[in-house]
Amino acid sequence: MQRMQLGTFLVVASLLVACGATSSIGSLRFKNEAPVLRVNDRIDVATKPPANRFSKMLYHFDGFFHKRLTHASELRRHVRSQNLNSLGEVPDSNWFTNRIGVREMSTEEVGTGPNLEGSPELYKPWSVKSSKVGGVSIGFIIKDSRGVTYLLKFDQKGAPEVETAADVIVAKLLWASGYTIPEDYIVEFNRSDLVLAEGAKVKTLTGKESPLTDAMVDSQLAKIDIQADGSIRGLVSRFAPGVPLGGHQRTGTRPGDINDRVPYENRRDIRGQYAFFSWLDHTDIKEDNTLDMWTEHPNGKDHYVAHYLIDFGKALGAQSFLGNLKAVGHGYVYDFADMGRSLASLGLWQRPWEGRVSPKIRGVGLYESATYDPAEWKPYTPSYFPFRETDRFDNYWGAKVLIRFTQAQIAAVVASARYSDPKASEYMTRTLIERQRMTAKHWFAEVAPLEMLVMKGDSLCFTDLAIAHRLVTAAQRYRVRTFNKSGSKTGEQRLVSTAKGEVCTSPLLRPSNEKSYTIVELTALRGKLKSRPINVHIAVPQSKNAGSDRRIIGIHRR
């Protein structure tokens, strides 16, 4: 696996070289090197970085007003994501580990997700150490008989299974996509399984502590749904290893972390979350739903910062359902643009979310596909600044990852939510698939979905994902133009895909100087429409032991 020091990775010139030539193919050229597959961002962070302090009121004030206005007044030019390799892909890092996007995953692996240590249900009783700190939901910090610590949370009273199911489903799908997620489990237990630990405390947001009593535990449990037989459903989230540093901020980098070099608003693995979160209707995205941990390196000596996504209980339509807010996912909780549109139309504007209805199935929130628009989806607030920077390239990247989940894999993930009504499992699986395909179809129309590019001899082969995933039905045509390094055109071909979307060019003209390289411009022809081109840069490896076969050294999507 190719690795690269983080400092080198961040210098664009180390991967891309602009030569003086100008032509219809552009001036961008790549160094003749293998692509970076893993960023070395585990250089020792010997001193624990300072923890972030999160103020929800200030966060949303900045998101709605202050920083929103100052950002608009700066008139900054849009920049593409920066944490990419020469193929335009996100390398593995402490932020993102390529999983289903680059390899086949079994249904069992996807259904298991990050949950490798096993549920605490088999390790009762649980010792209650303290009450949950932060948030508005009821919860406790517990330790099972193995000594493993978890956060125990519950569904809102009157909405059984909605939040707990949403959490485990979204957590596993995001983990398989590549994000770092803690172990979350659905659990069932009885009141007798909760035993107060010695010195158990009630903790407040201000840090004040007082003794936690059995009466206090009972008063909290009285606020949730308990089955007639006394069983209680909950969600446990295992504490991540390391020292917590709070969430990652919306912009910039973390002070004290020498590995943190790319501003968060310019990371594709963050900006591209828009495609995943719109698919999953993860509307409650803000700083305290992320978590950075100062973690010990596997070598037992060094430390680095690991970046987690946490707390998905308001996803899959749960936030809309629990708050009776049909607009969530379509508009911000205070959406001034929608207010202006309604005012300008004298109230006649038909809001796209007005017809949304809950399926009225136990455990299912207001999650549906009838009104879903992958390009217009909005989280609960505009406070998550990376989504202001996201572009079609970021969301195409997310879409081509999420479309790889099969129906069986999605069904396996839904099964782990342990719905009591089979109709809930059927509905959730079907709706996830419908929104998955809608998301991919939209972003595949914005960026030509030509992937699996590889040289076979002197022919360039690729697969059209829109055909491979049956998002379009007919075979497609392609224009292939070739250029030399100076930008002069050297040839042109017209090709047609197979029924599976597979395409191979005729042998490409090999330059007389094998140290030279070829640029192939691929354009998909969709009926009367032409996609934006993709430039594929090909060269003979410089290594004496690499042979004379040409390889792809860079891809630039236009």
Cβ atoms of residues 495 and 462 within 8 Å: no
Q: Decide if 323 is inside a domain.
A: no
The tokens describing 202, both together, are 């009630």
- What SS3 class is residue 432? helix
Spatial CA neighbour of 359 closest among 426, 433, 414, 438: 426
Q: Decide if 458 is inside a domain.
A: yes
Q: Is 43 exposed, middle or buried (0-12, 13-18, 19+ CB in 10 A)?
A: middle
Spatial CA neighbour of 436 closest among 269, 268, 274, 280: 280
Q: Decide if 256 is inside a domain.
A: no
The domain spanning residue 501 has which CATH number?
2.60.40.10
pLDDT in single tens digits along all 558 residues of the chain: 344 444 434 433 334 444 444 467 888 999 999 999 999 999 999 999 999 887 777 766 766 666 667 766 777 788 999 999 999 999 999 999 999 999 999 999 999 999 999 999 999 999 999 988 754 578 999 999 999 999 999 999 999 999 999 999 999 999 999 999 999 999 999 999 999 999 999 877 666 788 999 999 999 999 999 999 999 999 999 999 999 999 998 889 999 999 999 999 999 999 999 999 999 999 999 888 999 999 999 888 999 999 999 999 999 999 999 988 888 888 887 776 777 777 777 676 777 778 888 899 999 999 999 999 999 999 988 888 899 899 999 999 999 999 999 999 999 999 999 999 999 999 999 999 999 999 999 999 999 999 999 999 999 999 999 999 999 877 789 999 999 998 999 999 999 999 999 999 999 988 776 567 899 999 999 877 788 999 999 998 876 555 568 899 999 999
The tokens describing 492, both together, are 């042109």
Q: What angle do CA 279, 280, 283 make, to 5 degrees?
A: 110
Q: Decide if 318 is inside a domain.
A: no
What integer pLDDT is reported at residue 14 of this predicted model? 37
Name the one residue in this structure whose structure tokens are 């390529």. Answer: 98
Number of domains in the chain: 2
Rounded CA gap, 119 and 241, in Å?
A: 17
Rounded CA gap, 4 and 10, in Å?
A: 10
Pairing of strands 459-464, 529-530: unpaired
Q: Decide if 328 is inside a domain.
A: no
In terms of residue numbers, what domain contains 149?
Answer: 109-244
pTM score, two decimals?
A: 0.92
- What SS3 class is residue 442? helix
- Identify the domain boundary among 216, 244, 272: 244
Q: Decide if 455 is inside a domain.
A: yes
Q: Count other Cβ atoms within 10 Å, centred on residue 218.
A: 11
Q: Decide if 18 is inside a domain.
A: no
What integer pLDDT is reported at residue 17 of this predicted model? 45
Cβ atoms of residues 475 and 497 within 8 Å: yes
Strands of 212-332 (E only): list them: 232-238, 243-244, 290-296, 303-309
- What SS3 class is residue 60? helix
Q: Decide if 180 is inside a domain.
A: yes
- Identify the domain boundary among 244, 268, 284: 244
137 Cβ neighbours under 8 A, 6+ residues apart: 153, 154, 156, 163, 313
- Identify the domain boundary among 188, 219, 244: 244
Cα-to-chain-centroid distance, residue 369: 20
496 Cβ neighbours under 8 A, 6+ residues apart: 475, 476, 477, 478, 503
The tokens describing 385, both together, are 């600044």
Cβ atoms of residues 52 and 245 within 8 Å: yes
What integer pLDDT is reported at residue 209 of this predicted model? 83
The tokens describing 526, both together, are 């969709």
What integer pLDDT is reported at residue 549 of this predicted model? 84
Spatial CA neighbour of 516 closest among 32, 144, 14, 4: 32
